Amino acid sequence: MRRWNGWGDDSFHLELPDNGIDFLRERLGTAEPLPEATLEAVCKQVPKSRIPAHDHVYTDSETRIRHARGQSLPDWLAMRSGEFGVFPDAVALPETSEQVAELLQWARKQDLVVIPYGGGTSVAGHINPADSGKPVLTLSLARMNRMVDLDPESQIATFGAGTPGPLVESQLLAQGYTLGHFPQSFELSTIGGWVASRSSGQQSLRYGRIEQLFAGGRIQTFDGTWDIPTFPASAAGPDPREIVLGSEGRFGIITEVKVRVMPVPDRESFHVLFFPNWEQARSCARRLVQNRTFLSMLRLSNVVETETQLALAGHPRMIGGLEKFLKWRGAGEGKCMMTVGLTGTPLQCRTGLGELKQIARDYDGVYAGTYLGRKWEAKRFTMPYLREALWQGGYVVDTLETATDWDNVDTLMARIEQTLRQGLEADGEPVHVFTHLSHVYSQGCSIYTTYVFRCADSYSETQARWARLKHAASEVIVRNRGTISHQHGVGRDHAPYLPIEKGPVTMMVLRSLSRTLDPDQRLAPGVLLDDQTASEVSNDS
């Protein structure tokens, strides 16, 4: 069953190898986990709902608890401590787009706040209710999880917005198709959530981001049904899809999503290469993407992440052998690991692999075959379970991500890492920090940084440590040509930094759109657009 207070299914446990825990102890010291609240205890805290009875609306405590929080680190700490703060007053589970429209009108009459809810996988506070004085209705699309149409000629599939990743792919696979959108949250996140938050999948190099996949659909607004027709391309004014993409529930509720799909590829394989140092590895990544080499994925770990990944991989004897081989080939200390996907026809894959090896040679890359690639593939969606495993060891893990142009990648990565590494110096606490580039574009790439630190001796101090790190790193990102998010979205947590990134005219435009489509500011208030400025956040923390 799905965990009520953490990621994923409670029957699945990601075990850390012994040397993995040793690796962290060496760097961060030994640690103790904090005591956890039980579901029963939290149920007792849930106040009486302020929302009257209605079809498709549930007010029982457990349902409200299970829809109160996402998967950010503050959400995790709230769920583990049992200190939730605000709960939604009710959860609606409509089954049709018409029921969503009807619920919106009802919410207006009842003067409710409405929070659209997909898979509940937000790591930026998208779905957390706030204490506004108004009752909060969380509107889950979970029951709208079916493929309702597939046009094989135009390669367009239509889904209920609440369809989670595995149901998207299995319903398509039954007809020989794939969407190819594989965010790390794939197991739980939904197709509507991907659109609302401008998600990116691991193989975006082949399939594109959700922006390229989203072809049209249906959004319920307070002004009626917003149907966005499908066109392969259009010069007829600004594209309405682009206003929905990233709207994070502020403009309406996405109920139906049409996406561009492809036949299941003939071939797919994942390969690993090592480079002697970061400079050569990053230059090779840039060259490959700017060369339009036919790859479906390119992921590049920096030195510390490479070291960490090899330490956490288990099989120390085999990894030791690999490292000897790599050292002999010139990739010793300071080496960086690149994982590459090849997907397509046999000829396309052969050509891509040929170009990959040829270009990698110019940067002293060592081709290490598909063994580690298969390992990556097997674990590609299990990383979110790592938080549970580390938590049990007394460690807290979180990730930060941004994107920037190639000329700024090294500078921004170094500043983010340094900021995090030094972020708890006042407490005398080290922070273990490592980074990979997870998505590459001709113009630049994403920067995905993981940071691990020890639990403090209370939840509130652990949360305060996180807040200091998160705020400092967010400031560094938006003050140094990074976007506040490449794939996680804005939510509440990033909203204070958005005006620095976007500037006053874009903010005016976004606020105007929100007021036009939601005059009472009833939809997900505080998400995406916030009146609190970054300097106020700074003073808070």
Residue set of the binding site for substrate: 387
Q: Buried (b) or exposed (e) across 63-91, using 16+ Cβ within 10 A? A: bbbbbbbbbbbbbbbbbbbbebeebbbbb
Among 105, 132, 516, 535, binds a second copy (CB under 8 A): 516
- Is residue 156 within the footprint of a second copy (CB under 8 A)? yes
Q: Closer to a second copy at the Cβ: 304 or 513? A: 513
In whole angstroms, what is the distance from residue 384 CA to residue 244 CA? Answer: 27
Among residues 487, 461, 433, 497, which one has the least CA distance to residue 211?
A: 487
**Which of 44, 109, 292, 317 is in the footprint of a second copy by CB under 8 A?**
292
228 near a second copy, rule: CB under 8 A = yes
Residue 242 touching a second copy (CB under 8 A):
yes
- Answer for which of 23, 226, 391, 448 binds a second copy (CB under 8 A) is 226
User: Is residue 445 at the binding interface for a second copy, with CB under 8 A as the rule?
Assistant: yes
Please report whether residue 517 would count as binding a second copy according to CB under 8 A: yes
Q: Can residue 233 be called a binding residue for a second copy (CB under 8 A)?
A: yes
Residues 78-137 that bind a second copy (CB under 8 A): none
Min CB(35)–a second copy separation in Å: 35
CB of 173 to a second copy, least distance (A): 18
**Cα–Cα distances in angstroms (integers) from residue 396 to residues 21, 24, 450, 453, in the given order:** 13, 11, 11, 5
Rounded Cα distance, 295 and 354, in Å: 11
* 158-217: contacts with a second copy (CB under 8 A): 197-200, 209, 211, 215
Q: Which residues are annotated as a binding site?
A: 116-122, 248-254, 387
Q: Which of 30, 170, 345, 460 binds a second copy (CB under 8 A)?
A: 345
Q: Is residue 506 part of the contact set for a second copy (CB under 8 A)?
A: yes
Among residue numbers 381 through 420, which ones bind a second copy (CB under 8 A)? Answer: 403-408
Distance of alpha carbon 266 from alpha carbon 282, whole angstroms = 30
Q: Is 62 helix (H, G, I), strand (E, B) or coil?
A: helix
The residue (of 25 and 481) whose beta carbon lies closer to a second copy is 481
In terms of CB distance, is 294 or 434 closer to a second copy?
Answer: 294
Tokens (6 digits) for 205: 């190099």
Of the candidates 193, 191, 197, 187, the one whose C-alpha atom is nearest the C-alpha of residue 2 is 187
> How many angstroms separate the CA atoms of 390 and 410, rounded?
29
| Segment lying near a second copy (by CB under 8 A), choices 12-20, 49-57, 185-193, 220-228 | 220-228
Q: Is 240 a residue that touches a second copy (CB under 8 A)?
A: yes
Question: CB of residue 50 vs a second copy: minimum separation in angstroms?
Answer: 30
Q: Which residues are catalytic?
A: 448
Token pair belonging to 63: 């349902």
Stretch that binds a second copy, among 14-22, 412-420, 444-452, 466-474 (CB under 8 A): 444-452
Q: How far is the CB of 213 from a second copy (least distance, A)?
A: 10
Of 246 and 276, the one with the shorter C-beta distance to a second copy is 246
Among 151, 362, 520, 540, binds a second copy (CB under 8 A): 151
How big is the site for a second copy, counted in residues (CB under 8 A)?
93
Please report which residue ranges of 329-445 form alpha helices under DSSP H.
346-361, 371-378, 386-392, 409-421
Of residues 35, 133, 237, 428, which one binds a second copy by CB under 8 A? 237
Packing angle, helices 278-290 and 409-421, rounded to 10: 140
Question: What ranges make up the beta strands (E) of 18-167?
Answer: 57-58, 90-92, 113-117, 136-140, 147-151, 156-160
**Binding annotation for FAD:** 116-122, 248-254
Contact 286, 276 (CB under 8 A): no
**What does the CA dihedral 178, 183, 188, 192 come to, rounded to 10 degrees?**
-70
Check residue 300 and give left, alpha or beta (phi > 0: left; psi -120 to 50: alpha): beta
The rounded distance, in Å, linking the Cα atoms of 319 and 324 is 9
Closer by beta carbon to a second copy, 223 or else 540: 223
Q: Residue 495 Cβ, how far from a second copy at the closest point, in Å?
A: 9
Is there binding between residue 247 and a second copy (CB under 8 A)? yes
Element (H, E) at 432: strand 432-437
Measure the CA angle with vertex 218, ends 494 and 211; round to 5°: 50
Please report how close the Cβ of residue 237 comes to a second copy at its closest, in angstroms. Answer: 4
Q: Of residues 471-500, which lie at the interface with a second copy (CB under 8 A)?
A: 481-490, 494, 498
Tokens of residue 516, six digits = 């036009």
Among 15, 40, 44, 234, binds a second copy (CB under 8 A): 234
